[in-house]
Amino acid sequence: MQATIEVQELRKQFGQTVAVDGLSFTVRPGQVTGFVGPNGAGKSTTMRMLLGLDAPDSGQALIGGRRYATLRRPLTEVGALLDAAAVHPSRRGRDHLLWLAHSHGFPSTRVDELLERVGLASAGRRRAGSYSLGMRQRLGIAAALLGDPPVLLLDEPVNGLDPEGIRWIRGFLRGLAREGRAVLVSSHLMSELEDSADHLVVVGRGRLIADTSVAELLASASGDRVALRTSARTEAMGLLAREGATVAADGPRSLTVSGLPTERIVALLTAGEVPFSEIGAHRATLEEAYMELTRDAAEFRTVEAHTDTETDTANETEEARS
Amino acid sequence: MTTPTVTPYRSPLPPARDGFPQLLRAEWIKLRTVRRWSLALLATVLVTVAVSVLSAFSGGSDVKGDRPPPPVGPAGAIVSDSFPFVHQKLTGDGSITARVSLLGGREGRPAEAWAKAGVVIKESTKPGSSYAAAMVTPGHGVRLQSDFTRDTAGGAVSRDRPHWLRLTRSGDEFTAYESADGSTWTKVGTTRLAGLPDTAQAGLFVATPGETMVQRQFGSTSVGGRPARVTAAFDRVTVDGGGGTWRQDVVGAVVGANGDPKGTPDSSTEKSGTWTLTGSGDVAPHTPEVDITQQSLSGAQIGLIPLVALSVLFITAEYRRGMILTTLTASPRRGRVLAAKAVVLAGVAFVAGLVAALLSFLVSEPELRDRMPNPLFYPDMALTDGPVLRAVVGTALLLAAVAVLALAVGALLRNTAAAVTLVVVVLVLPLVLLSGLPIGAAHWVMRLTPLAGFAVQRTLPEYEHVDTVCLPEEGCYPQGPWSGISMLCAWALVLLGLAMWRLRRRDA
């Protein structure tokens, strides 16, 4: 079996709401793929369809080329964490893993091994109801790893973890991907995926917004923009705009300039006797890149509703900027 | 976009198995690892035993009956055997023939449907001794009966015309014949009485079951009874191979303190070859008014409440916590998940039910019998008796079926409170409300609803030739024990099938 997740033209509607609208993407082995979008973008629904819990209205959600429902020994094919709170509060953490392990004929030693691995060795004998959200996330991850599967689907695994836990899970996920597993991690916050995801699938309102590597996304978001600090903001803006640059005010003393190389800006400001203190290439964060992506997507959608001409203009502007 | 070439991950673990046995094991672990659920099972046992014992030790009457010990039939069962007997000695093979010319009840009214008048060959005049008899009944035509429990139907009789009867003995074989005119004879049937001595008593008899009056009102029922009376005239009486002299006796007469028969009008008179017999006792198997074994197991009706709660929670708790998602990802073949849950629940419910029924019977049954006004009229039942064994194992089966039913309802409704309420209302409420329904409607409810399962706790034998008043409030079920429990099992299986179908089709 190929350790991949494939989603093809997937569509799911709940009543009047279209949760997933023609979504297609592929998750490859050996890397952590972030599945990003605001709440309600259709991430969980997509994951539920991948796990055979919801039936797609059309399209396909495949694991290693097969529908989940047709998998034999599914825990050895896919590990999933959907809802960390989904444990019976009266059942001890270890017992929760125990029934799951026995459903696939794994020995109890496998359970203890995993409790150790996720750092719950001592808490395993406590009732799950007494666990913090972070501990439940760890229990859920242990459950996902029981069958040592080549594919992992984790829905918001960072949610509720403390900074130490977040660091732990980032390293953990990267380690799993390095072993050659396909790891799909959803999140509604791009910042949670910083330093762990190699690839991103960005969705909004059930549609694909971007399917890109993290490096490419950062490069395109940074563009050739220049960050500038100046006490004479208005003069600087006027001067640079006359020379054909696009200037945006980030704060009372800072500007982002695009369309002009750094040397030219320095020359212009010096010639115009406009004081400035700092100038350098703008470095976008993943969060910014994401905001830009989703903002464009939002604009795109609102414009689309009116006329196609405006859409074209918007696209041209975007092209001109990049 | 860069896609580095990677070797997909391969697990070093030994291959896993995810067959049905693994699923059963998983569900069993789920059940035993929630402590409250184990407590619910324990409560099922304790409540069942406690309710049974409480009702055994609180009920009964302090008034002790003064009836003498009842006669016991050849099979060892308690019987009614009291009738006026006009008889003579019959040695070896032979036959008795008579014409029954009148059969009526008290003061010119018709006799009871199962009143009997006819010819009999009986071991002795001792109550309970072996016999074979050919008889006419007002409601059920000609019958051949023997040793209280055996009954063969013959032809119909007309009320106003006399009817001929003949009973012949040939070794152990007894054959009954009937005739409308005394010349054309039709065979009714043959019966065997093993070990009847060579010399027996052949003669005439009349007998009748008592009159029963039932008054039902919502919440209260009064059942009244009084001895009925039957009078019959016999003529053309002949005994082939008989001793010749007629003796008049009353078998099983209730004897008062001074040695005189008391209270019974049983008598026989002869006038120019016509014998007139009047009787008020019956020759029939004795059916106790109360099924003591069933009563000793009555706690199961309340004991099933914690079991229903457990069974419903076994599935609804998974929905409430979202754990069903984990369950269904571990086993995407959803029908099997519900099947595994049903098997595990049925298994534990059966064991709990068996323990509860055994304890309830052993503790309550002797006490219940002791507290009856006339304990001797109730058979002393042992655990190894067929009907008792059936009732005890049946109670375990009943709880297993109720558990599966509750699981199915829980899976369909996905709501704990609604499912528990529905199942408890269906199983417990009718026990209260049935007394308010007309008896016909009540019987249909008991036949067709899951309530039918409780019929398996009945142990009283039913005889076609004994009319009983079957009152729901007395725990009588209109159908047999096995057909009752089958109806409950059918309900459980159909609902489980429906739940599986829904689970497979709906999004989780």
- Give me the mean pLDDT over the A314-318 stretch: 37
ipTM reported for the complex, 2 dp: 0.79
Pair of tokens at residue B273: 């070859």
Positive/negative CA dihedral, A297, A298, A299, A304? positive
Helices (H), ranges, chain A: 43-50, 93-102, 108-117, 133-145, 163-178, 214-222, 233-242, 262-271, 286-306, 308-321
Kindly list the distances between the CA atom of residue A89 and the CA atoms of B24, B49, B344, B404, in Å, as whole numbers in the listed order.
22, 31, 21, 24
Cβ B446 vs Cβ B348: under 8 Å: no
Structure-block tokens of residue B18: 């995810």
- Compare all CA atoms of chain A with the CA of B13 and give the residue at the minimum distance: A148
Cβ count near B48 (within 10 Å): 29
3-state secondary structure of B296: helix
Half-sphere exposure of A200 (CA within 13 A, CB side): 28
Å between B4 CA and nearest CA of chain A? 8
Q: Are A5 and A259 in contact (CB under 8 A)?
A: no
CB pairs under 8 A between A and B: 146
Question: What local confidence, expressed as pLDDT, does residue B21 receive?
Answer: 94
Cβ atoms of B508 and A86 within 8 Å: the answer is no
- pLDDT per residue, tens digit, chain B (508 aa), is 444 567 778 888 888 888 899 999 999 999 999 999 999 999 999 999 999 999 888 865 666 666 778 888 888 888 888 888 888 988 889 999 999 988 888 777 888 888 899 999 999 888 888 999 999 988 888 999 988 888 988 888 877 788 899 999 998 999 999 988 888 999 999 999 888 888 899 999 999 888 877 777 666 667 777 788 888 889 888 888 877 788 888 888 765 444 445 555 678 888 888 888 888 888 888 888 788 899 899 999 999 999 999 999 999 999 998 899 999 999 999 999 999 999 999 999 999 999 999 999 999 888 888 888 777 788 888 888 889 999 999 999 999 999 999 999 999 999 999 999 999 999 988 777 877 778 888 888 889 999 999 999 998 888 888 887 778 777 888 888 999 999 999 999 999 999 999 999 888 7
State residue B287's pLDDT score. 82
Judge: B29–A102 Cβ closer than 8 Å, yes or no.
yes
Q: What residues have CB less than 8 Å from B98, skipping those under 6 apart?
A: B118, B119, B164, B165, B204, B234, B235, B236, B237, B238
Residue-wise DSSP of A64-98: TTB-GGG-SSGGGTEEEES-TT-S-TTSBHHHHHH
**Which pLDDT band holds residue A150 (cuts at 50, 70, 90)?**
very high
Task: Return the sign of the alpha-carbon dihedral for residues B348, B351, B354, B357.
Answer: negative
pLDDT band at A316 (very low <50, low <70, confident <90, very high): very low
User: Is the confidence at residue A183, as pLDDT, over 70?
Assistant: yes
Report the residue from A92, A105, A180 with minimal CB separation from B8. Answer: A180
A290 in B contact zone (CB under 8 Å): no
Closest residue, chain A, to B332 (C-alpha): A69
Is any Cβ of chain A less than 8 angstroms from the Cβ of B14?
no
H-helix or E-strand spanning residue B249:
strand B247-251
The C-alpha of A310 sits at a distance from chain B's nearest C-alpha, in angstroms, of: 30
Stretch (H or E) spanning B87? strand B83-104
Q: How far is CA A258 from CA A218, A285, A296, B139, in A?
A: 16, 17, 17, 112
3-class state of residue B395 by DSSP: helix
Contact call for B332 and A147, based on CB within 8 A: no
**Partner-chain contact B18 A103, CB within 8 Å:** yes
Through-space distance between the first and last CA atoms of chain A, rounded to whole angstroms = 41
Q: Does A229 touch chain B (CB under 8 A)?
A: no
- Residues A294 and A39: their CA atoms lie apart, in Å, by 13
Give the span between the Cα atoms of B107 and B111, in whole angstroms.
Answer: 10
Q: Is residue B322 less than 8 Å (CB to CB) from chain A?
A: yes
| B-chain residue closest to A127, CA distance | B34
Residue B448 tokens, joined: 């067709």
Q: Which residues of A touch B328 (CB under 8 A)?
A: 52-53
Interface touch A213/B1, C-beta < 8 Å: yes
| Residues of B in Cβ contact (< 8 Å) with A104 | 16-18, 22, 330
Interchain pair B326, A86: CB under 8 A: yes
CB contact under 8 A, A148 and B12: yes
Interchain CB distance below 8 Å, A28 and B36: no
| Separation between Cα atoms, residue B75 and residue B137, nearest integer Å | 25
- Minimal CA separation from B417 to chain A, in Å: 18
Q: What length does chain A have?
A: 322
Instruction: Dump the DSSP string for A214-239.
Output: HHHHHHHHHTT-EEEE-S-HHHHHHH
With CA atoms as reference, the chain B residue closest to A69 would be B332
DSSP single-letter state for residue B251: E
Q: Is residue A295 less than 8 Å (CB to CB) from chain B? A: no
Please give the Cα distance from B306 to B47 (Å, whole number): 9
